[in-house]
Amino acid sequence: GQSLEQPSEVTAVEGAIVQINCTYQTSGFYGLSWYQQHDGGAPTFLSYNGLDGLEETGRFSSFLSRSDSYGYLLLQELQMKDSASYFCAVRNYGQNFVFGPGTRLSVLP
């Protein structure tokens, strides 16, 4: 079967750095993606890791370790607008795209 695990909630203050971890179990793994979803909105793509290592996009970075079936999303210089739910998602060979349960990030002033 396939499963992904993320923390359910994370709280941090403006300007801080926060890391959201994701562990997964799947077969035929292609890569790991991250999505952001604000309340009432659609999920929006943040990053994708097909290979091990760090990908950086502005204030957001994402990391993947295929051997550990583990990845994380790193958010730097947190802003109030970063308060949202964050989902990791696995793309696998079965043409499937499975999402994790989501992590609700609250950024406090």
Site string for other proteins, 38-77 (x = CB under 8 A): ---xxxxx--xxx---------------------------
Q: How far is the CB of 16 from other proteins (least distance, A)?
A: 26
Place of tokens 């793994």: 29
Q: How far is the CB of 32 from other proteins (least distance, A)?
A: 7
Site string for other proteins, 9-38 (x = CB under 8 A): ---------------------xxxx-x---
Site residues for other proteins, 73-102, by CB under 8 A, read 87, 89, 91, 94-102
Q: How far apart are alpha carbons 55 and 13 in whole angstroms?
A: 24
E runs forming strands in 1-109: 3-5, 9-13, 18-25, 29-37, 44-49, 53-57, 60-65, 70-75, 84-92, 97-99, 103-108
DSSP state of 67: T
Q: Residue 7 interacts with other proteins (CB under 8 A)?
A: no
